[in-house]
Structure 1
């Protein structure tokens, strides 16, 4: 099967060789970038011993660089240097034998097997790329999820979500500006001025609350003498459920709550938010939490574009419904995985959770299955293995549970061992993209640099 001819494209594209099967991966998140990298190295390059490439691989993303999404809370808190962890799609594609196309998917034409990319512009409004079509033989959708505001008034205007690095950096700038402003103003601080309200006590919100406790005090230590962090900086974690980390085992929830309470994080459970204003957060029971720094981390849904992709089936939460082989239910030439996909395993009453480990496993599975598909072999179903959950609480602790392979039960771990396991998850992602030696050298470089630079972002 070759690349489809395009007659209505607004921009002539440099297409792959017409005799090659064209696999288009939409979304350069953890799973999408791993898949494109592995497919490029396995199928997209000519071998020196005479074997020709078996497929052309194209990655499409609306950003130009990749950041592992579980790190966004560190960017928001200012404890991570983004430049040292970004992966540039264009360079990654060059080194790993896939093409990168800049743009956001806005439509799909299944009959002609092509995906539509929207127009992109720069900060001055000048066009970078026009609206155009990209043809495919096999399409893989891995565009992740976005925060769900559940229609709560004021969220869009007064809260910041942490779906992208740009949003995380925006919150960090707002936090830094608030501290500098408070340090130089002549009068006393307003109650809401340096109060951070985090709505949603899942992994992102919980990890952010602990990370902020340390980094906010780090910022103040660099010369903001008029701020007393113990008195002026407050962090409130707000959760509608009866406990934080409600999707994880109770033991992890309780251990995490105990650590956060020791850091003076105000935990509000059974607290349903009814409105977010420019002065704070309104709770259903009538309470009002003063805060000018609000983060919304409560719930996720599929991006809105998925509801209008030429008849592909979506779940109530806006995710693409897929079969155990990761194919969409209405089109065997279109696959989906990661946070944007809804997969209910046979015999289960809950779908596979939107976690990085699930996307990593699905990317590995799909790489093998697409290779088999090109060889005319039948697809095998995906089987998810839950290896446990880990929650990083910054420099204070890490807690979680790991699956015991001997007993078959989950074991609660905490402290140094848990922290090393948490960091290993990111190293596994990096090695999937770069290989062992580059990751080893980058790790040493970061450790050396961290000893000579501030541990918090100050600009």
Structure 2
């Protein structure tokens, strides 16, 4: 990807209309574009100082990131859960531009978008430039392979809608092979899947894949569940290191009861065509390999016209969420790093933090855009964490504030809480009534349609 610093200012877009450019249509970016687009529509597009709102994303639809593991496992239908950017832009009053940010010229406030090509190499959209008065970078994160040999060549990741769908299609093909061979463990009819990373993504994916195999057997693939082997590898001493110890132990016990082989305190040295080579010289065989360990921001941020970044390429921001060297550029979500003076580490790259940062700018950015008011400092509230094992179980921990701080819980309450997070996100995007209708449609489909993708 092009990370060149743009030294000579190009021509600016004609016209006096001010521009707010949001790059990245994830949780934070799409919530910002939706809320600010509606704000602009209420004030009137011609009102003084009201900017154009433009969202840029290289994809054409949004899927709530904590749901990607269900898309990857085929236990949810991608077409039912995605939100089209074009349709959302029309409904909420912002403009959508397909594209991928590759650089900025901060002096002239120009964002450079890379050319987009089809899979066969055809040019779809040429490289172009967009003017901005205010830029919000919300490009999210991706798995961090830490330079481990073979990961890029031999492993799947599920950081995006396309990656999750591609992995899901590959899993279904491999399951079809298992059914056709009618084999037993140790012969080609066995499907072995190894997942590196014992955080929420790896844990939840392992559970969903177990559910996929069980559901496929219920649809007639007799004996399939016994021929699918899932191994979860974590380098830390326990799974879900950010969760309380009792949740880590409970999750591991539940996964092992489901047949998942869990290996903690195990470091991967390399990925191969046959599996993972471990640091102790042993090997974990796997016909499908998933890398879900670590988090880093996109590489191009490290060359974004001199803006400060950390080793994970996250943009350094002040408590106002403005980048340290440019008041006109904000960064939110996984692609930014905010370290409070009273803390020794940055805020975690979670959906909860991204949502809270988006809501902070939704509340305070309009006044800054209209009258030049200062955006106050963002304060994160730790609301706790949830992890779902699909239909099998769920676990939750309350945050470090409130009367019941630190309390852990599991079962139905945790499952309903996890579902409520998604439905709340839908309501913010589509409004209460339409969001409620989408929930109702999902409930109907769960009764009328297959519980897994069978195509």
Maintained 8 Å contact 1:325/1:380: yes
CA-based RMSD: 2.1
1:422 and 2:418 are equivalent in the alignment: yes
1:221 and 2:218 are equivalent in the alignment: yes
Query: Size of the alignment, in residue pairs?
Result: 446
User: Paired residue for 2:315?
Assistant: 320
**C-alpha distance in 1 between matches for 2:444 and 2:404:** 40
**C-alpha distance in 2 between matches for 1:75 and 1:252:** 25
2:242 corresponds to which of 235, 239, 247: 247
Maintained 8 Å contact 2:269/2:277: yes
Q: How does 1:215-294 map to 2 (within 5 A)?
A: 215-225=212-222, 227-230=223-226, 232-294=227-289
Q: CA deviation at 1:430?
A: 0.8
Q: CA deviation at 1:47?
A: 4.5
Q: CA deviation at 1:245?
A: 0.4
User: Paired residue for 2:166?
Assistant: 170
1:121 and 2:117 are equivalent in the alignment: yes
Q: CA deviation at 1:405?
A: 5.7
Task: Provide the secondary structure at the position in 2 that maps to 1:147.
Answer: coil
Taking structure 2 as the reference length, what is the TM-score of the superposition? 0.93
User: Paired residue for 1:147?
Assistant: 143
Maintained 8 Å contact 1:21/1:54: yes
More displaced stretch, 427-436 vs 399-408 = 399-408
**C-alpha distance in 2 between matches for 1:418 and 1:185:** 39
1:57 and 2:60 are equivalent in the alignment: no
Deviations 1:142-190 (A, max 9, x none): 0001111111111111110111111111111111111211222387664
Task: Provide the secondary structure at the position in 2 that maps to 1:260.
Answer: helix
Task: Provide the secondary structure at the position in 2 that maps to 1:385.
Answer: coil
Q: CA deviation at 1:292?
A: 0.6
1:376 and 2:372 are equivalent in the alignment: yes
1:210 corresponds to which of 207, 212, 217: 207
Maintained 8 Å contact 1:44/1:56: no
**Which ranges of 4 or more aligned residues in structure 1 deviate by more than 6 Å?**
none
2:406 corresponds to which of 381, 406, 410: 410
More displaced stretch, 214-223 vs 442-451 = 214-223
**C-alpha distance in 1 between matches for 2:420 and 2:199:** 21
User: Paired residue for 1:3?
Assistant: none
Deviations 1:33-68 (A, max 9, x none): 0001111111355449x9667221000000010001
Maintained 8 Å contact 1:321/1:342: yes
Q: CA deviation at 1:451?
A: 1.1
1:345 and 2:340 are equivalent in the alignment: yes
Maintained 8 Å contact 1:198/1:296: yes
Structure 2 residues without counterparts, runs of 5 or longer = 1-7
**C-alpha distance in 1 between matches for 2:168 and 2:49:** 44
Task: Provide the secondary structure at the position in 1 that maps to 2:407.
Answer: strand
Maintained 8 Å contact 2:78/2:165: no
More displaced stretch, 285-294 vs 95-104 = 285-294
Maintained 8 Å contact 2:75/2:212: yes
**C-alpha distance in 1 between matches for 2:305 and 2:69:** 35
**C-alpha distance in 2 between matches for 1:53 and 1:329:** 25
**C-alpha distance in 1 between matches for 2:319 and 2:39:** 24
Task: Provide the secondary structure at the position in 1 that maps to 2:305.
Answer: coil
1:432 corresponds to which of 428, 432, 438: 428
1:311 and 2:306 are equivalent in the alignment: yes
**C-alpha distance in 1 between matches for 2:402 and 2:262:** 36
1:194 and 2:191 are equivalent in the alignment: yes
Deviations 1:280-316 (A, max 9, x none): 1111122211111111001011101101110010011
Maintained 8 Å contact 1:22/1:57: yes
User: Paired residue for 1:33?
Assistant: 30
Maintained 8 Å contact 2:385/2:399: no
**C-alpha distance in 1 between matches for 2:308 and 2:73:** 37
**C-alpha distance in 1 between matches for 2:402 and 2:289:** 44
User: Paired residue for 2:5?
Assistant: none
**C-alpha distance in 2 between matches for 1:421 and 1:224:** 33
CA shift in 2, pair 1:404/1:288, >3 Å: closer
More displaced stretch, 33-42 vs 162-171 = 162-171
Task: Provide the secondary structure at the position in 2 that maps to 1:377.
Answer: coil
Taking structure 1 as the reference length, what is the TM-score of the superposition? 0.93
Q: CA deviation at 1:403?
A: 3.2
User: Paired residue for 2:359?
Assistant: 364
CA shift in 2, pair 1:188/1:235, >3 Å: closer
**C-alpha distance in 2 between matches for 1:20 and 1:47:** 13
Maintained 8 Å contact 1:44/1:57: no
1:156 corresponds to which of 149, 152, 170: 152
Task: Provide the secondary structure at the position in 2 that maps to 1:403.
Answer: coil
User: Paired residue for 1:454?
Assistant: 450
